[in-house]
Chains A and B, each alone.
Chain A
């Protein structure tokens, strides 16, 4: 009985597979290679004059201020196996009459550095600062171990010795997005 039941389905599949294949080459499927490009927002923040002013001592904060966040995209085995290049797109609106230096560092689970971009200098009063940083994975495989990103901001001193007035509103808007190039 079991044999009788399985025979018809078997016939169907044999007919499907054996039909009209003489001009076809199914092995071409090995060449199938999607190359999706994913764009995603990354970190963003807005800092103002108060963030760079020590109100207790009435002095500017001259040491870099930093913050760190985890992320999981590089924990994905699919991304790890197929990522060939990443671009970090940075857009800054700097309303300060000061220059800022941005340090972006990637860390692994144990807070050990996996990749660092060269310091990014944002000029004073620049509302449309844009920069694109690229990581080519070949040769930078350590980058794939990244699970955290640290963004440090350093206020440059004024050229004329003036200090920030905490009562005058000034903003530093930072936006970023990542472009992930995959090849499967």
Chain B
């Protein structure tokens, strides 16, 4: 890959849409089946449900921590290089893009008894997070001339991405009138994985030494793992057919669990919480792991003017390889999944009705309005990312519900979202839009989202 291609990829990724894992509108909304995927301890009150294959759950969250598509691609007369330089100046080594897409392939559920609801299915997930390696990108873009007597840090290189399939089965169980708990077992099938994290070391070009400059590689410790990208001959070999095929029972197997609860403190006050994806995947197929370690200083070629016909370059090359050894292997490795936490408190008010369905043993009161707060957190390589959401939910009728959200996170401090859920007979559908204030011109938005799903629900 050329320097141009590398920089284009960085630029595109950082300025294009990214997906986060926060499903703030879906969480706890209208007791839909899909809420079980973000809280296995969510309450349900239907006999069974079946998702329409491929369409039962689709979510798209879009955002950038810094920058937008318009920064690079707006139609104006600014040279593209200038736009790239302006964007890079705006970004820091804490700027990131995160990309997550989950899509239900199959989703269903069945009420075992009054207290127990089972759900199961399969979904595919694409997950990526990469921090902007500002020093490295600018070293490639400008060369080392602007970095004379400055230090370039390899610790800025932090990224992780994977494509996997998840087969899952969960249970939501009513302990008593106040307390509902749930859990979900997940079997992961890894298709692609690549990561590099906890890197260390610096590169510098300093005036002085035996020559005009001394180039220093100091405390280098760079490691990366990948699975599914390279064949036995270490050639890049990624086919979409294999990528999708391996999301169903590949050799890269892992397990994980989700747990969650719903607690009714009073008829009007409810607490919920969940922990998702506590688990790991063991990657063993088509692995390629890289390690580079060591220290090296380079002053140039020291001519000796003796009669030995010294092969100076070979000597330097051997010295470099001895001082900074590079090794690769295909060893298996284990990757922990990013853990997500959700928590919410809800206060319901307004007109009440009771006993929505015969399966609802709580005989709880259903109010047509509620407000509350939600918190979301996800473990990420540099730090845990957190989002806070305030919401207002209103039931227009028994079968038509609306939820308004206001979310603050790394992407935006003014993200207003709206979701609707409706049921006609057994046919239930929902649609949600985040950052609606910027929907008229997404090119300058740092975040936007859309979710929809179709289910068949049998009361």
Contact = CB atoms under 8 A, between A and B. Distances in A.
A184 B4 contact: yes
Nearest to B317: A72
B8 interface: yes
Interface in B436-451: 441-443, 450
A147 to B, nearest CB: 9
Given A6-B244, A177-B213, A41 B298 contact: yes
B73 A175 contact: no
B313 A72 contact: yes
A70 interface: yes
Nearest to A33: B81
Contacts of B300: 40-44, 175-177
Contacts of A43: 300-303
B244 A32 contact: no
Contacts of A66: 305
Interface stretch (B142-150, B194-202, B404-412, B416-424): B142-150
Interface stretch (B27-35, B53-61, B329-337, B356-364): B53-61
Contact of A37 (B73, B124, B143, B313): B143
A69 interface: yes
A23 B213 contact: no
B105 interface: yes
A39 B304 contact: no
Interface residues of B, number: 68
B53 A29 contact: no
Contact of A71 (B8, B105, B213, B301): B301
Interface residues of A, number: 56
A20 B17 CA distance: 11
Interface stretch (B204-212, B225-233, B287-295, B374-382): B204-212
B251 interface: no
Contacts of A24: 69-70, 73-75, 443
Contact of A16 (B17, B55, B58, B210): B17
A32 B75 contact: no
Given A11-B58, A41-B298, A25 B212 contact: no
Nearest to A19: B442
A146 to B, nearest CB: 13
B262 to A, nearest CB: 29
A39 B105 contact: no
A28 B73 contact: yes
A47 interface: yes
B311 interface: yes
A26 B75 CA distance: 9
Contact of B143 (A6, A38, A176): A38
Contact of A31 (B7, B79, B305): B79
A21 B212 CA distance: 50
A69 B309 CA distance: 9
A179 interface: yes
Contact of A39 (B2, B17, B73, B205): B205
Contact of B103 (A8, A38, A47, A67): A8
Contacts of A39: 143-145, 148, 205, 213
B312 A19 contact: no
Contacts of A23: 70, 74-75, 441, 443
Nearest to A11: B58
Given A23-B443, A26-B73, A29-B8, A70 B213 contact: no
Among A2, A33, A41, A89: residue with most chain B CB under 10 A = A41
Contact of A44 (B148, B303, B450): B303
A9 B11 CA distance: 23
B166 interface: no
A38 B140 CA distance: 9
B103 A12 contact: yes
A151 interface: yes
A184 B2 contact: yes
Contacts of A40: 144, 205, 213, 215, 300
A166 to B, nearest CB: 16
B308 to A, nearest CB: 10
Nearest to A150: B303
B80 interface: yes
Interface in A127-179: 151, 153, 175-177, 179
A12 B105 contact: no
B62 to A, nearest CB: 8
B287 to A, nearest CB: 23
B211 A184 contact: no
A37 B145 contact: yes
Interface in A24-82: 24-26, 28-29, 31-45, 47, 51, 65-67, 69-72, 78
A64 B80 CA distance: 52
B296 interface: no
Contact of A51 (B62, B126, B215, B305): B305
16 contacts: A8-B104, A9-B244, A19-B62, A32-B84, A34-B81, A36-B3, A38-B145, A40-B215, A41-B299, A66-B305, A70-B313, A153-B305, A177-B212, A179-B145, A180-B143, A184-B3
- Interface pairs A-B: 6 shortest CB-CB: A36-B143, A41-B300, A8-B103, A20-B442, A177-B212, A70-B313
Interface of A: 2, 4-9, 11-12, 15-16, 19-21, 23-26, 28-29, 31-45, 47, 51, 65-67, 69-72, 78, 89, 91, 151, 153, 175-177, 179-180, 182, 184
Given A36-B140, A44-B300, 13 more contacts: A8-B103, A9-B103, A11-B58, A32-B7, A33-B80, A39-B148, A40-B300, A41-B213, A43-B302, A70-B311, A153-B305, A176-B300, A177-B300
